[in-house]
Amino acid sequence: MSLDPTALPLNELIGLVAALLTTLSFLPQALLTLRTRDVSGISLSMYSAFTLGVGLWLVYGLTLGAWPVIIANALTLALAASILGMKLWFGRRPA
């Protein structure tokens, strides 16, 4: 499997860039939340459903042995789960 992007057909290149963007886009959110602890505007329902959904995409990728799906969703799962964890931790009522 050649990892030379220029060797990829155009639509595969579009899929690769799409996967990189939708996966790595959660990194700036995780860093912002870690830095600011500002979670009031972040939806707990969204990150609960999204994290579960990405976890299922990972299982789906494993059943197919599809490495691009496995790698993209393992990364997204780690990032989404960290945002969910920070939402729960920083968002809890002071005792």
> Could you list the residues that contact a copy of itself (CB under 8 A)?
10-11, 14-15, 17-29, 31-33, 36, 38-43, 45-50, 52-54, 56-57, 59-60, 63-64
Could you give the C-alpha distances from 81 to 1, 11, 24, 61, 91, in angstroms and in order? 30, 30, 14, 18, 15
At closest approach, how far in Å is the CB of 95 from a copy of itself? Answer: 22
The nearer residue to a copy of itself, 60 or 67, going by C-beta atoms, is 60
At closest approach, how far in Å is the CB of 17 from a copy of itself? Answer: 6
- In the chain, the N- to C-terminal Cα span, in Å, equals 54
